[in-house]
Amino acid sequence: MTARVNHVDTVPGSVRFFSRILEFLMRRGVPLGLNALVTIRGRRTGEPRTTPLAIIQASGRRFVWSPWGQVNWVRNLQDAGRATIRVHGENEEVDATELDPQERIAFFRDLLGPVARAIPFGYWFVRLLDGVDLNDPVKAAEGRVVFELRRFAAAAAATTS
């Protein structure tokens, strides 16, 4: 069982504003770096909810993370356990596994840090916009939720049959 993050905050208004623009552009097929549209079944209504999220890819693995803790898409993904990601017009069903505290520290230290530093202004973007100091992975992991995304087991089995 994964230790749940209790930190509940709200997404800054500027991020909500730009997320709407990102979603609009991405629905029209505009590629925007690491971002993908992630659709998750709502925990209350069961209706699909779509949000643009950065998908961090490293060492053949994929992750999404929430700089602001237990926001709605996080609670929906915790409940649903799976999502659909849409990148460049292609949909893929994925299982989502929430990382435990030690795995979150490793994510910030070994995966997000190097990925952000490899992108021009990536480190500063994460630091200024998301409020995360990647030089302190223990503190970065506090109050933040990280999920690993793996190809949905039923879909993977169907392609090997």
- Domain coordinates in residue numbering, the chain: 13-160
Q: Output the pLDDT for position 8.
A: 46
Q: Model pTM?
A: 0.81
151-157 long-range Cβ contacts below 8 angstroms, 24+ apart: 151/92, 151/93, 151/94, 151/95, 152/82, 152/92, 152/93, 152/94, 152/95, 153/95, 154/93, 155/92, 155/93
Q: Output the pLDDT for position 1.
A: 39
* Phi and psi at residue 32, to the nearest 5°: -130, 70
* Phi and psi at residue 11, to the nearest 5°: -75, 135
Q: Output the pLDDT for position 119.
A: 87
**DSSP 3-state of 156:** helix
Please give the order of strands across the beta sheet that includes 56-58: 48-54, 35-41, 82-87, 90-98, 145-151, 61-66, 56-58
Q: 13-160 has which CATH code?
A: 2.30.110.10
Q: Output the pLDDT for position 59.
A: 85
| Residue of higher predicted confidence among 88 and 14 | 88
Q: Output the pLDDT for position 24.
A: 73
| Residue of higher predicted confidence among 158 and 25 | 25
pLDDT over threshold 80, residue 94: yes
Q: How far apart are CA 109 and CA 138, in angstroms?
A: 8
pLDDT-above-90 percentage for the chain: 52
Q: Output the pLDDT for position 129.
A: 75
Q: How far apart are CA 30 and CA 88, in angstroms?
A: 8
pLDDT digits (tens, 9 = 90+) for 114-159: 999 998 888 888 888 778 899 999 999 998 999 999 998 765 555 5
What would the mean pLDDT of 19-37 be, rounded to a whole number?
Answer: 76
Q: Is 129 left (phi over 0), alpha (psi -120 to 50) or beta?
A: alpha
Q: Output the pLDDT for position 5.
A: 46
